[in-house]
Amino acid sequence: MVIRSLLTIQEALHSLDEIRLWIENRNRSIHVSISPVPFSSLDHWSQDEDGTLRHSSGRFFSIEGIRVETDYGSLSSWTQPIINQPEVGYLGILTKEFNGVLYFLMQAKIEPGNVNCVQISPTLQATKSNYSQIHKGKQPLYLDYFVNASPDQIILDQLQSEQGARFLRKRNRNIIIKVEEDVEEHDDFRWMTLGQIKELMRYDNMVNMDTRTVLSGLKISDYLSLADDTSRLSVFGKDLLLSSVTNHCHSTISEHLSWLSSLKSRYDLKVHPFPLRKMTDWRVLAGEISREDGKYFKVVGVKVTISNREVSSWCQPLIQPMQQGICAFIIKKINGVYHFMVQAKLECGNFDVMELAPTVQCLTGNIPSSRSARPPFLDLVLESSGSQVLYDTLQSEEGGRFYHEQNRNMLVEVDDSFPLELPERYRWMTLGQIYQFLRFNNYLNIQSRSLIAALNYLS
Amino acid sequence: MVIRSLLTIQEALHSLDEIRLWIENRNRSIHVSISPVPFSSLDHWSQDEDGTLRHSSGRFFSIEGIRVETDYGSLSSWTQPIINQPEVGYLGILTKEFNGVLYFLMQAKIEPGNVNCVQISPTLQATKSNYSQIHKGKQPLYLDYFVNASPDQIILDQLQSEQGARFLRKRNRNIIIKVEEDVEEHDDFRWMTLGQIKELMRYDNMVNMDTRTVLSGLKISDYLSLADDTSRLSVFGKDLLLSSVTNHCHSTISEHLSWLSSLKSRYDLKVHPFPLRKMTDWRVLAGEISREDGKYFKVVGVKVTISNREVSSWCQPLIQPMQQGICAFIIKKINGVYHFMVQAKLECGNFDVMELAPTVQCLTGNIPSSRSARPPFLDLVLESSGSQVLYDTLQSEEGGRFYHEQNRNMLVEVDDSFPLELPERYRWMTLGQIYQFLRFNNYLNIQSRSLIAALNYLS
């Protein structure tokens, strides 16, 4: 059912072209305007004497200052703004079987920060504030299906983290449910197959981050049976399935766990509240909180106006990146089995000190000119070309919080000449091992999950 | 090797009687005196205006106040003192093979809070402050073996939590290593088999909490091969092995994970620093921090004097319980396979909101007279008798922090008439499923692990 969904692209309820046209039309017919607004004029938001930005409901999210102390990396202490949203929200996809194929009910969702207005989003994307009606808006569509889901309807249900450099210990409940009854396909929603969604991830900024994190948890090989027609899988797809089920791993899970225990014990991470207005290197201005050197990101106050069938507008803070970023996995066959080079990375907002990140995850705005000062493997990834590059697209961060933030997502294969021996914070893992970590909370970071979701099994 | 260690009790390097005598002699020859000292006179400790107690090194541990807000349970907010010790310490056991049997190098360790002076402890029990010489004492024995352990020497290496009601997000690195070279058996150390240590857990307060948490991670069935002589296993031991390897589980791991995601999303837990002196219901006196109603626990300042071959003394705060507690697993055969009834329990110091606790984990000092106000299954456990009760001993909490704190540890079997249907926070898990959660950080709480470690496979 999942496998047939993965294999079905053209002969689906809606063709791929129809879906792309639908998104393009949405993008043309909707106008999103973002205008800067001083924090003091942000409706329903207030700024206290420390500079903290809070929603008037006291819930939703806030922008706060933190002071970070750690013995990881070259900087032992710094201050920065961070998004604090302690609630666990839903990222939910509703699925249903039509003619033996599983379809995912996807939404064309407008978010103020999207580079294009509309991206393909989960059926339900709701914070606790959303669904408990803090905004006094309408109840989100399809919410009841998720709230009332019975255990046998649940395909996947995991707590997963968001960006550790931007969110303070934020997590969402990633959930996929399957229903039997008829479900209305509302205007902004379309039934899509897994294969179609993965195809759409080949395009820049088409499938939003929330969709990618939810789908990353679906371990394809779990659904494969001898009865499935695998002739349409690509050679690479078959290799991924092997990497997902094999016991021929370069290291065992116990060894990986020991490695993580050792690193998590070694590095301290202390995060304390710190007044935004007292931060070093950052300044709180009337309409933005930014660094004097122009690095990393800034917090801006905006008024969002969306003109669609009706006009709606609201104010909120958004995070605007000052630099582009890159997230890349290097993969390599070891004894015929693909292994992913995973990095244990400490980020200040991490729930559990270190998470498993892609081989390369960094900003590319101002790469140091000295090679030795650059992040490991960055040059290799940037200089890769041709058949080495298995995936290379721009993917957006969540447009509800981030303004025009996109990262280059890459998958780069290296050959036998690449050394097996890795620096201390790096390990070779099979896809099966990555999925084992993914099932349990707070191991795979969101950048890794985005890349895992994009793995394409077809030619 | 592990299995032979489990099966070897009498024909070991030291007989069980020798070991018990050794501990008894230690207890007789050592005198520990604990005298109350006002906080203002605690050497190397200071109390600030909020009432917080800190070590003069700024490290080690501190006693701080917190304010807890949660929508779990009947109390939505409270204040309490808590132990804050952000460092990850080592709880390490060194092992070595003699004649094909694995031996564990155990220590007769004095801790000020032990009800008896000496308990059987891991080879190494060291906080980062200990081993980085904050105390300016000698370097702990055998430390180098752990610091320099190579990956192939590591049998087990996990980060595990401590008591969530007493420690703020504290974790230790539980590690077992195996060495080949000759190792000196120092005065306070003895080589013991796994079977012997498990036998000693049948006695009250003989094996300390740190030993129990480390050994709980050893999944016995992982070491069983067809070549092992299993004739000495008890029927119960064989049933435990079945529960450890079977796929015949009442619910799948995915279902358990979904259940946990749902509960962790539902319940909020917010913990803020709060001045001890401003706490409601608690008072900070000259030499103790305690509740006016005498409940739960109190923090006391003590001077510890240990007279042994030499006399040593120091001052520190200790936590003294005001009530006894009980930790019990109810187990039941479902389709011939033992299942443990696990409880998802929120405690204020938990690293990740809820951990998996025993069926019953509560204080027994003042049980409400109304049955409906008592914790679920408490009456059943307290009223169990005869062959239903598979394990029933008193076990100590860590004597370095807790003064004479012991909990009744029980394993109670229920029969077919006991309903399969459970309240929402309770689930049936096989032993194999429990071990799957145990491998990953912050799932099984320390009370559960203590009971799992005590499972005895012999008659």
> Which tens digit of pLDDT belongs to each residue from A33-43?
999 999 999 99
Is residue B351 within 8 angstroms of chain A, CB to CB?
yes
| Per-residue pLDDT at A310 exceeds 80 | no
Q: Which of B79, B205, B95, B184 is nearest to B141 (CA)?
A: B184
How many domains does chain A divide into?
2
ipTM of the complex: 0.90
Is A310 a domain residue? Answer: no
DSSP H or E stretch at residue A315: strand A311-321
Q: Which of B206, B273, B219, B213 is nearest to B89 (CA)?
A: B213
Are residues A145 and A249 both part of a single domain? Answer: no
Q: At what angle are helices B431-439 and B446-454 packed, to 10 degrees?
A: 130
Q: Which of A290, A274, A273, A271 is nearest to A282 (CA)?
A: A290
C-alpha B38/C-alpha B50 separation (Å) is 16
Is A187 a domain residue? Answer: yes
Are residues A21 and A142 both part of a single domain? Answer: yes
Is residue B439 within 8 angstroms of chain A, CB to CB?
yes
Rounded to 5°, the CA angle B193-B196-B201 comes to: 130
Q: Which residues pair with A339 in a beta bridge?
A: A332, A430
C-beta atoms of A265 and B86 within 8 A = no
Q: In chain B, whose CA is at the least distance from the CA of A90? A: B265
Is A171 a domain residue? Answer: yes
Query: Looking at residue B227, what is its pLDDT?
Result: 86
**Per-residue pLDDT averaged across B154-172, rounded?**
93
Q: Which of B388, B356, B127, B111 is nearest to B256 (CA)?
A: B356
Q: Which of B322, B424, B307, B302 is nearest to B364 (CA)?
A: B322
Is A410 a domain residue? Answer: yes
C-beta atoms of B441 and A151 within 8 A = no
| Per-residue pLDDT at B50 exceeds 60 | yes
Is B341 a domain residue? Answer: yes
Are residues A260 and A353 both part of a single domain? Answer: yes
Q: Give me the CATH number covering residue A355.
A: 3.90.79.40
C-beta atoms of B262 and A158 within 8 A = no
Considering Cα of B116, then B118, then B119, then B124, what sign does the dihedral take?
Answer: positive
| Per-residue pLDDT at A138 exceeds 90 | no
Query: Looking at residue B386, what is its pLDDT?
Result: 94
For B59-117, the pLDDT digits (tens) are: 889 999 999 999 998 899 999 999 999 888 999 999 999 999 999 999 999 999 999 88
Are residues A131 and A184 both part of a single domain? Answer: yes
Query: Looking at residue B377, what is its pLDDT?
Result: 97
Query: Looking at residue B134, what is its pLDDT?
Result: 52
Query: Looking at residue B286, what is its pLDDT?
Result: 95
Fill in the DSSP letter of residue A213.
H
Residues in B closer than 8 angstroms to A87, CB to CB, are 268
Is B11 a domain residue? Answer: no
C-beta atoms of B151 and A261 within 8 A = no
Are residues A21 and A113 both part of a single domain? Answer: yes
C-alpha A126/C-alpha A143 separation (Å) is 9
Are residues A135 and A206 both part of a single domain? Answer: yes
| Per-residue pLDDT at A137 exceeds 70 | no
**Per-residue pLDDT averaged across A13-26, rounded?**
95
Are residues A20 and A159 both part of a single domain? Answer: yes
Query: Looking at residue A14, what is its pLDDT?
Result: 97
Are residues A211 and A254 both part of a single domain? Answer: no
Query: Looking at residue A109, what is its pLDDT?
Result: 93
Q: In chain A, whose CA is at the least distance from the CA of B88? A: A265
Are residues A341 and A410 both part of a single domain? Answer: yes
C-alpha A359/C-alpha A428 separation (Å) is 10
| Per-residue pLDDT at B318 exceeds 80 | yes
- The lowest-confidence range among A136-145, A275-284, B206-215 is A136-145
Question: Cα distance from A443 to chain B (closest Cα, Å)?
Answer: 10
| Per-residue pLDDT at B363 exceeds 70 | yes
- Check: CB of residue A437 under 8 Å from CB of residue A444: yes
Are residues A144 and A256 both part of a single domain? Answer: no
Q: Which of B275, B268, B220, B236 is nearest to B67 (CA)?
A: B275
Query: Looking at residue A367, what is its pLDDT?
Result: 76
| Per-residue pLDDT at A259 exceeds 70 | yes
- Check: CB of residue A352 under 8 Å from CB of residue A364: no
Report the 10 Å Cβ neighbour count for B156. Answer: 21
Is B403 a domain residue? Answer: yes
Are residues A215 and A262 both part of a single domain? Answer: no
| Per-residue pLDDT at A225 exceeds 80 | yes
Q: With bands split at pLDDT 50, 70 and 90, how would you rate the model's confidence at A127?
A: confident
Cα separation of the two ends of chain B: 20
C-beta atoms of A439 and B257 within 8 A = yes
- Check: CB of residue B356 under 8 Å from CB of residue B449: no
Report the 10 Å Cβ neighbour count for A79. Answer: 18
Residues in A closer than 8 angstroms to B157, CB to CB, are 254, 257-258, 261-262
Query: Looking at residue B308, what is its pLDDT?
Result: 78
**Percent of chain A scoring above 70 in pLDDT:** 98
Are residues A215 and A248 both part of a single domain? Answer: no
C-alpha A25/C-alpha A29 separation (Å) is 6
Query: Looking at residue A134, what is its pLDDT?
Result: 52
Q: Which residues pair with B362 in a beta bridge?
A: B326
Is residue A78 within 8 angstroms of chain B, CB to CB?
no
Q: Which B positions 268-307 lie with beta carbon below 8 A of chain A?
A: 268, 270
Q: What is the mean pLDDT of chain A?
A: 93
Is A428 a domain residue? Answer: yes
Mutate one of A68, A87, A124, A157 to test the B interface: name it (highest B CB count within 10 A): A157
Domain containing A11 equals 2-33+86-219
**Per-residue pLDDT averaged across B121-127, rounded?**
92
| Per-residue pLDDT at A322 exceeds 90 | yes
C-beta atoms of A158 and B87 within 8 A = no
User: Taking the CA of residue B458 as centre, how many other CA atoms within 13 Å lie in the half-sphere pointing to its CB?
Assistant: 19
